[in-house]
Amino acid sequence: MNARLLVGVDVNLPEIACGVYPTPARVVERYRSDAAVGDRRFDLILALDVIEHVADDRALLADVVARRTRPGSLVLVTVPAFQSLFSDHDHALRHFRRYRVAQLRTVLRSTGLQILEDGYLFASLLAPRAVAVLRERIGQHRPDHGIGSWHGPPWLTQLAAATLTLDAQALLAARHLGIRLPGLTAWALCAVR
């Protein structure tokens, strides 16, 4: 897919990063408020680690689908997986919950979305997260400020990104072979009817 227009809304985006940025290949628009988008509708909505941040995930998704899509639009949703891994990390990121794929399906179907595919990503991150949660529960807590606090060297960042890309590709390949493996992120690709 080669999009000519990319529009992003992030309430935490610094004001200096907001605006319209045209390039020869596409136009990128970045806003802090959904109101700035006007009444436009889109072919693809990415709700990447969004709905776990609101008390009423169903209401948010229903509103986005009603106001921002049209029949045939696609919606890709990702969320943190497994409520049993809920920890201070989630509190720091202001999460209300984590999801199993089945729970995510229930939320998505309640908004009228048709689920095309779903699954998990990032199996390699499950064990480190489980260890961190266990350490927290036995009182050996270390502050976790999320990915935003990462200050590693560029070579290590590139290695981590490559490893996570391979991890995601492996889980997607396994899923297409009928093997469903768990991961730290649950996802679903949906169509608007």
pLDDT at 160 over 70: yes
In sequence order, the β-bridge partners of residue 80 are: 185
pLDDT at 21 over 90: yes
pTM: 0.91
pLDDT at 116 over 70: yes
Residue 132 inside a domain? The answer is yes
Query: 131-147: b or e for each residue (b if 16 or more CB lie within 10 Å)?
Result: ebbeeeeeeeeeebeee
pLDDT at 98 over 90: yes
53-75 pLDDT, tens digit per residue, is 999 999 999 999 999 999 999 99
Residue 9 inside a domain? The answer is no
Q: pLDDT-based confidence at 46, cuts 50/70/90?
A: very high
Residue 14 inside a domain? The answer is no
Residue 34 inside a domain? The answer is no
Residue 28 inside a domain? The answer is no
Residue ranges making up the domain that contains 135:
41-192
Q: What local confidence, expressed as pLDDT, does residue 147 receive?
A: 62
Query: Which phi and psi (to 5°) does residue 48 adopt?
Result: -95, 110
Residue 180 belongs to domain with CATH number: 3.40.50.150
Number of domains forming the structure of the chain: 1
pLDDT at 167 over 60: yes
Residue 65 inside a domain? The answer is yes
